Amino acid sequence: MYRPHHAGSLTRAAFLSARNDVLANIAIIVAGLVTAFLWHAAWPDLLVGLGIAAMNADAAREVWQAARNEHRAAA
């Protein structure tokens, strides 16, 4: 049984990476559709790019904290 609160930092990183990849791909497709049909500008791509960067930064922070907690528990 998968228990995210008992998983290690590598498991957390793999989960967050897969989740972020799916969300980023969906956002990129939506931005492409918005650009093609509604708003002929670069703004949808730029906004999605900023959102992806923020999402990945938050995931990196979570993995860093999980790894730090593991390191402290092992010491």
What one-letter code names the amino acid at 14?
Answer: A
* Pair 70, 9: CB distance under 8 Å: yes
**4, pLDDT greater than 90:** no
pLDDT digits (tens, 9 = 90+) for 10-68: 999 999 999 999 999 999 999 999 999 999 999 999 999 999 999 999 999 999 999 99
pLDDT of residue 1: 39
Cβ-proximal residues to 47 (8 Å cutoff; 6+ apart), any chain: 31
pLDDT of residue 75: 76
Measure the CA–CA gap between 17 and 12, rounded to whole angstroms. 8
